Amino acid sequence: MSTGIGDRWLRGESVPGVTFALHDRVAIAGGSRDGQVGTVALLLAVVPHPLYLVTLDDGAGELKVRQSSLRLAH
C-alpha cells in the first residue's frame, strides 16, 4: 500500500477505488462464507484490488476479503 493511504483511510478520508470505510458493516458475497456478516477492521491493500480485514459477527474470527466479495450489510 502506498505510504499515507492507510492513514488517510483510517481518518475517514476518501481513497480512490476503495469502497468501504472503517467499521462499515459488510456481508460476504460468494464462497464458503457467503452471507456471513462482519465489520471492516482494516484496509490491508489497495492494489491490485482493495483487500480488507473483516471481523465476523458470529465470533468466528477475522478474514481477509477482497472488495469484490463484499457488499454493504443491511
For the stretch 33-43, pLDDT in tens is 999 999 999 99
Q: Hey, what CATH topology would domain 5-72 get? A: SH3 type barrels. (2.30.30)
Structure confidence at residue 24 as a pLDDT band (50, 70, 90) = very high
> What is the layout of strands, in order, in the sheet containing 25-28?
62-66, 51-56, 37-45, 25-28, 70-72
pLDDT of residue 28 exceeding 70, the answer is yes
pLDDT at site 60 = 84
pLDDT above 80 (res 71): yes
Confirm if 31 and 40 have CB atoms less than 8 A apart.
no
